Structure 1
Amino acid sequence: MNKIHSYLAASIAIALSGTTAFAYAEADTENTKDIEIIEVSGDFHRRTLNETTSSVSIIDKDAMQQRHSQHLQDTLNSFANVNFSGGTSTARFIQIRGIGERSQFVDPVTPSVGLLIDGIDYSGLGSAASLFDINQVEVFRGPQSGRFGVNAMAGLLLLDSTAPSSDFNGEFQLSAGNYSEAMGGLAMGGNLGVLGNARFSVSQFQQDGYMENTYLNRDDTEQRDELSARFLLDTELNKDWLLQTVLHYNDVDNGYDAFSLDNTRETLSDEPGFDRIESQALRLQLSYLGFDNSRVEMSVNRLDADTGYAFDEDWTYEGIAPGWEYSSFDSYFRDRDDKTAEVRWLSDEPEALFGIESEWVFGLYYYDKSVQLTRDYFNWDLGQPSIFQSDYDSQHTAVYGELTQHWSERVTTITGLRAERYNNDYLDSRDITEQPEDTMIGGNFSLRYQASDQSYLYASVARGYKAGGVNGEALGKADDKGLEELESFLLERSTFAPEKLWSTEFGVKGSSQDGRLTSRVSAFYHWRDDVQLKSWVNRDQSFVGYIENAAEGNGYGLEVEIRNQFTDGLTFFASASWLKTEIEGFLTEDGIDMTGREQAQAPNYQFNIGFEGWLGENFQWVIQADGKDEFYFSDSHNQKADSMAVLHLALNYHYQDWRVSLWGRNLTDEDYEIRGFYFGNDPRKEYVPETYVQYGEPRRFGITVSKSF
């Protein structure tokens, strides 16, 4: 009951703050200027950010450059209720409102938070998210399964490259910083005659990383070497047909040596790991525009990604503690092949449907994901190196639709529904076979009220889902030596069921008439059924990970964004969130009842706050701070990351089409944790369990020169 009271109080507070914004909007009707309209591309029908009926945030190219963001993870701390976990060289997995995966080892994973880049599904492959020539990043919070399907139960991140245009234009960028950082990028595009409008971009990023391996006397065991290339082409075949082509190539060859036995930035590994991806992707979308007020979009995607992830399992070297030590190297190689086909028919403008001005979408969707895993590791049961292999094929078919109805000039409803069927086939080298399958239903209903020209109220309810799967590692190790007493426990967890997420949300979005003040506030409450939680069995140096369904979980909170241009030379911006989550019905293997505890990766508060100013027409400065509360590292132990706050600064000189930037990130050199484990791994301490952490970036600084043309 106290939770409900808190939620109602928060909603009332939002309504009051919204009323203030509306009053401001209505009062300032003179001396107006053109307002910059920010459009959201992730909706079926392009809407402004204020018109969306869910909590959505956008960071554009200029804001990314102010943070010196080279990779998606460099932007994530600026978004309310968005977190990410380490365990890799760059963030692969993301959490929204406390929901999301943290790692992947042996078993297949269905991400709770999706990632789309130029319409191609990179969910679970976050290391491919280079930001050079990305026009904007959109973050959708809450269930998005009705629109995007199985990989968007908790939310979605969408990245759009700069679109091709008929005018020749482009940009080049050079950057250098500490830790031997160097980056170069070139983007250009224009009209190619009968081929249409095209844009090509390529970028290369290199860095030594933030760790020093004192055993090997190296400072580059966490090095980053990332190449990204994209090509977009829009071809008008004739007045009725448009063909859009997208080509991607990524080659990421990063080191991985993140954990220290002493919890410092100095490691002792004699076999540092790696974190690699080489991917090629193609997207073809053919649109028929010959109807009077609708169009048909037909698309096919193909993504091939070869990934490699490895680490020194003992984090040390032979001879550090004779008689106690062990030595092991663990590596995972995955070959992922995705094929997607989709057809949708949608209206272009509102038209009368059953006497009501309406917009509509109807679509069919097919997704085939095939993953082959080869694990090269030391098998402690056999006492020798071993190879483990698995094949996981997942097919999804879906039918979906969305209807937007304008009941009056101010009142609009949006109704969406999606039915999705999955069939999975699992086979591994231990002769484990499973074939989980199910049908899942998702969707949304929202009501929007336009209180003034630039201000909206909305309320919504949405249902998301995530597919079930197989615990192949648990099945395969059920009869290992040392785990015999757990055989029945592991066999009972051979598969896990789909998870469902229900969410209600109320929000206020408004802008002043002159566009100088914008504010967006959302309050939400969500509850989860058959919650998929990761747990571990730890016996000596044997670890078995598995996913099981807890009874349920819930969460509620707030998200606020404000931008206020006080004068032509000074702007204030901020985003902040508050979150409260709870697990119910989850018992770990060693008997700890986690009921009532908060979920992992779910800090109670997060914020990004800053000022942007101009000195004359050429000098610009931006100072901002990111912060978040402490949070649990895992659902299977109670160790926490400390609260953190870091400061960033950018000083820019603009001259014609040139920009020279001096930038600094984490200027106070704060040590903060992004991943943590609790177990015994130090032979000098006879493997007494303790907390080991991976740190975020230290103080960084450098210079960037760019030119637009």
Structure 2
Amino acid sequence: MSYPSSRFRIKPLHLALLGSLPGLLLTPIANAADTPSTLAPITVNADLRQVDQQQLTASATIVDDMELQDRGATHFGDLLLQTPNVNFSGQSSRPRHLQIRGMGERDEYTGAPNPSVGFAIDSIDLSGIGMAGSLFDVKQVEILRGPQSTRYGASAIAGLVNIQSNEPTAEGETLLETTFGSDQLREIGLANSGALSAIDRGELTPLYRFSLFKHDSDGFRTNKTLNRTDTNGRDETQARGALRWWANSDTQFDLNLLYANLNNGYDAFSRDNSFTTRSDEPGRDTQKTLAGAFKVTWTGNPNYQLTSITSYADSNANYDYDVDWQAFDIEKTNGTYQSNQQRQNFNQDFRWQSTEASQLFNNSTAWLVGLNLAYLEEDNKRQERSKTCYGFQCPTEGPDIFNADTTSQFTNQKLGLYGQLDQSITANKTLTYALRVEQNRKNFRQTKREFGAAFEYDNNGDPVSYEPYDFDVNDRFSPTETLWGGSITYTHRYSERHTAFAGVTRGFKAGGFNTGLDDNENTQFDAETLYNYEIGLRSNYGSLQTATTLFYMDRQNPQFDGYTFNAFDRNEYIFFTENFDSAQHYGLETQLDWQAHPKLDLFAHLGLLKTEIKGTPINTDLIVAGREAAHAPNYQYLVGGQYRHGNGWFARLEVQGMDAFYFDNVHNERSGAYTLVNSRVGYETGDFEVYVWAKNLTDERYATRGYFFDHFDGDGERQYVRLGDPRQLGITTRLRF
């Protein structure tokens, strides 16, 4: 499969044009509408103070419940490629490994997770295992770009994805949603909310909410070896519950529960880069999560408010695949990879913040202080089997040529202290100072047994015999680091319509260790520091809303991951991370939403990104120096329009696109630039809605993950890609009562 090589490059003219944008911060447009939009304000829950979106001093995309329904988004993965400078790695059945502004992991095989992008659902940290991101009965999705280290510490140096479920309501409401579509798509969702009338306490009557969502689909693959169409299928069940009650008028309790059971297949790759697979042992990608968060808000003291958030998550995941992607052949490489991951994580956050009565410095400065304790424990088991028989007596039931059994235990303890001051210089000018200090303790133990047989070759390079081997490799690491980050931001609110901000943020990411490498000098890598410089403007011209941010990120000791091969078997990858000298990521994010007519909305979102990497790698397999980062396209966009008539008719057309990008840090293979078209037509009444929709209407072929290697069966080294979903058609109905 060939991909076009068109690319967007930031040239001097582009830089000159972009450089002129900060002038908007000093000269707001005078010919704006006299009255700002009357749209309901959106509160950003991921912010420490939970401010209104118009006051947020960070680059963010907030998608509320109405917009989620208009887009037809049922999983947070539906939003990622439509969001400026956000990407993901198609390494799993659902997006788990995210990239923001060209930073983020593409996989995780080490057993010691160290994410760059944070992911949370209702204050529950699921970073790196975010497959449970269903969007049914969700209030909003918040995608914050740039380091969020003040609140989230080392887990969000690149940014954060935060999902907030709908809250319990005093008025009873029920939603029933169904979807049917191609690829045997079947979805059903039920949500119910109201007051617990049996416990009638007037305004303090407890409230509840419950939702259940089921998704089934085949996964767009046909397995010719097994004559099946569901080897890459999705079988997902998710439930959420919420309870809100009050001890008195000063004390509010919120309990959120999450259950997710994803029993998905994983058969995504083929030798010819198509939707037809030939694996005889297709994999699986499963995740079971039971989690909860308990929040206490106390306002009983006139001088401060106290908030406590306690969360816990227990997750069990399996990730398996057929190494050779084909039926067993005695003359070729055959193998399987199986892994089991068990993770428990606990998080406790205490937060004290001032009221108007306790502000500092002549009542000009609001304050906030927080203490965060986090503990993560993860146990991993991995089993690798590989045969390359070359015609020897190596039947399916016989001894394997290469075996590896690995068990590992990992714990990560974090203790963080953070604070924030918001100083009002004048009525419309504010300086915000934030600081976080975090102690990070890790403990890792791993035992790996390798056993099998190594081939001996004649002078012509042909195998003549093989000798057995069996040995163990043990690794142990216990690093401790003290890290810090913070920010200084200046905000100028020119009017009700214009808010400008400029600031610098220091983010951090903990260091770590490598296992399985022969080079003892590369067993550990250092912490990374990121300085993020931003200048932005949010404007509301009544029917037109815009948000633009220019950013420059300077990475010091940047961490780049890669892989090499086992000396006994080139089908086994050995993953590692090391520090480079520096890296710079810079660009722009802008969003425009225009109500051109009371019945017509137009929108345009754009992300521009340029990355530069400097340094000499220790491991020669890393080849990122002098080129751009992996999964960092130069441009990304979403444009479209939406029509909603008062008599009930609805139509939406959107076009999203992405530039080509490098797939990895150890080869120079790239994706192709692509454009996707999505459409939606429906009819809406007060209680009933029906929509007919199409995703990827033009049936574009595009890649979300790519490799370059040799299967050792005569094909040589070549590119292999995981394709994104092809065209899908469907119908969705909603009934509210």
The equivalent residue for 1:344 is 351
- Give the CA deviation at 1:559: 0.6
1:456-475 mapped onto 2 (5 Å cutoff): 456-472=499-515, 474=516
1:541-552 mapped onto 2 (5 Å cutoff): 541-552=571-582
Question: Alignment partner for residue 238 of structure 1, among 244, 248, 262?
Answer: 248
- Identity among equivalent pairs (%): 32
- Give the CA deviation at 1:584: 0.9
- Give the CA deviation at 1:120: 0.6
- Give the CA deviation at 1:543: 2.2
1:492 is the counterpart of 2:521: yes
The equivalent residue for 1:481 is none
The equivalent residue for 1:186 is 190
1:18-57 mapped onto 2 (5 Å cutoff): 22-25=29-32, 28-29=33-34, 34-57=38-61
Question: Are the structure 2 counterparts of residues 554 and 224 from structure 1 closer, same or farther at C-alpha, using a change threshold of 3 Å?
Answer: same
Question: Alignment partner for residue 308 of structure 2, among 269, 284, 298?
Answer: 298
Distance 1:3 1:120 in 2: 39
- Give the CA deviation at 1:611: 0.3
1:421-436 mapped onto 2 (5 Å cutoff): 421-429=439-447, 430-436=473-479
The equivalent residue for 2:546 is 519
Distance 1:536 1:292 in 2: 56
Which range moves more in the overlay, 501-510 or 287-296? 287-296
Distance 1:350 1:525 in 2: 38
Q: Which string of whole-angstrom CA distances, capped at 9 and with x for unpartnered residues, describes residues 99-150 of structure 1?
A: 0000111331211000110011010011111111111101111011012112
The equivalent residue for 1:149 is 153
Question: Are the structure 2 counterparts of residues 219 and 122 from structure 1 closer, same or farther at C-alpha, using a change threshold of 3 Å?
Answer: same
Question: Are the structure 2 counterparts of residues 213 and 447 from structure 1 closer, same or farther at C-alpha, using a change threshold of 3 Å?
Answer: same
Distance 1:6 1:417 in 2: 37
Distance 1:350 1:326 in 2: 72
1:413 is the counterpart of 2:431: yes
Q: Which string of whole-angstrom CA distances, capped at 9 and with x for unpartnered residues, describes residues 224-277 of structure 1?
A: 011110111111011222111111100000000111111111111000000000
Distance 2:435 2:261 in 1: 38
Compute the RMSD of aligned alpha carbons: 2.0
Distance 1:334 1:593 in 2: 30
Distance 1:29 1:405 in 2: 29
- Give the CA deviation at 1:523: 0.3
Q: 1:261 touches 1:682 (CA, 8 Å); kept in 2?
A: no
1:442 is the counterpart of 2:485: yes
1:134 is the counterpart of 2:177: no
The equivalent residue for 1:537 is 564
Distance 1:357 1:349 in 2: 9
Query: What letter is aligned with 1:210?
Result: F
The equivalent residue for 1:483 is none
Q: 2:623 touches 2:667 (CA, 8 Å); kept in 1?
A: no
Query: What letter is aligned with 2:414?
Result: H
Q: 2:561 touches 2:665 (CA, 8 Å); kept in 1?
A: yes
TM-score by length of 1: 0.93
Q: 1:356 touches 1:405 (CA, 8 Å); kept in 2?
A: no
Distance 1:433 1:15 in 2: 50
The equivalent residue for 1:13 is 20
Show structure 1 runs of 5+ residues with no match.
479-486
Q: 1:410 touches 1:449 (CA, 8 Å); kept in 2?
A: yes
Q: Which string of whole-angstrom CA distances, capped at 9 and with x for unpartnered residues, describes residues 383-435 of structure 1?
A: 35442100001100010001111111110111100000111111112331111
SS in 2 for 1:656: coil
- Give the CA deviation at 1:292: 1.3
Q: Which string of whole-angstrom CA distances, capped at 9 and with x for unpartnered residues, describes residues 293-341 of structure 1?
A: 421112221110001001001111113xx42x12111011011010111
- Give the CA deviation at 1:348: 4.3
- Give the CA deviation at 1:10: 4.9
The equivalent residue for 2:223 is 213
Q: Which string of whole-angstrom CA distances, capped at 9 and with x for unpartnered residues, describes residues 447-476 of structure 1?
A: 01111212111101001111112223x2xx
Distance 1:571 1:197 in 2: 35
Query: What letter is aligned with 1:78?
Result: Q
The equivalent residue for 2:68 is 64
Q: 1:426 touches 1:470 (CA, 8 Å); kept in 2?
A: no
Show structure 2 runs of 5+ residues with no match.
1-8, 200-204, 389-399, 448-472
Question: Alignment partner for residue 109 of structure 2, among 88, 99, 105?
Answer: 105
1:390 is the counterpart of 2:417: no
Q: 2:440 touches 2:480 (CA, 8 Å); kept in 1?
A: yes
Query: What letter is aligned with 1:285?
Result: K
Distance 2:618 2:187 in 1: 45
Query: What letter is aligned with 1:204?
Result: K
- Give the CA deviation at 1:591: 6.2
Question: Are the structure 2 counterparts of residues 624 and 348 from structure 1 closer, same or farther at C-alpha, using a change threshold of 3 Å?
Answer: farther
Distance 2:349 2:131 in 1: 26
Distance 2:297 2:333 in 1: 59
Question: Are the structure 2 counterparts of residues 131 and 348 from structure 1 closer, same or farther at C-alpha, using a change threshold of 3 Å?
Answer: farther
Query: What letter is aligned with 1:456?
Result: T
1:628 is the counterpart of 2:658: yes
The equivalent residue for 2:459 is none
- Give the CA deviation at 1:6: 7.5
1:564 is the counterpart of 2:594: yes
- Give the CA deviation at 1:576: 0.2
SS in 1 for 2:595: strand
- Give the CA deviation at 1:17: 5.4
SS in 2 for 1:158: strand
1:318 is the counterpart of 2:347: no
1:693 is the counterpart of 2:694: no
Distance 1:673 1:110 in 2: 25
Q: Which string of whole-angstrom CA distances, capped at 9 and with x for unpartnered residues, describes residues 360-392 of structure 1?
A: 210111100000001122278983544210000
SS in 2 for 1:432: strand
Distance 1:62 1:98 in 2: 29
Distance 1:76 1:380 in 2: 38
The equivalent residue for 2:451 is none
The equivalent residue for 1:575 is 605
Distance 2:649 2:700 in 1: 28
Q: 1:147 touches 1:443 (CA, 8 Å); kept in 2?
A: no
Question: Are the structure 2 counterparts of residues 577 and 616 from structure 1 closer, same or farther at C-alpha, using a change threshold of 3 Å?
Answer: same
Question: Are the structure 2 counterparts of residues 705 and 557 from structure 1 closer, same or farther at C-alpha, using a change threshold of 3 Å?
Answer: same
TM-score by length of 2: 0.90
SS in 1 for 2:66: helix
Q: Which string of whole-angstrom CA distances, capped at 9 and with x for unpartnered residues, describes residues 640-697 of structure 1?
A: 01001100001120122111011110000000000001101262xx251111000111
The equivalent residue for 1:643 is 673
Question: Are the structure 2 counterparts of residues 235 and 152 from structure 1 closer, same or farther at C-alpha, using a change threshold of 3 Å?
Answer: same
Question: Alignment partner for residue 607 of structure 1, among 633, 637, 649?
Answer: 637
Q: 1:680 touches 1:690 (CA, 8 Å); kept in 2?
A: yes
- Give the CA deviation at 1:629: 0.3
Q: 2:55 touches 2:499 (CA, 8 Å); kept in 1?
A: yes
Which range moves more in the overlay, 207-216 or 668-677? 207-216
1:706 is the counterpart of 2:734: yes
- Give the CA deviation at 1:36: 2.8
Query: What letter is aligned with 1:578?
Result: L
Query: What letter is aligned with 1:502?
Result: Y
- Give the CA deviation at 1:15: 3.3
The equivalent residue for 2:466 is none
Q: 1:356 touches 1:407 (CA, 8 Å); kept in 2?
A: no
The equivalent residue for 1:671 is 701
Q: 2:623 touches 2:665 (CA, 8 Å); kept in 1?
A: no
SS in 2 for 1:361: strand
SS in 2 for 1:23: coil
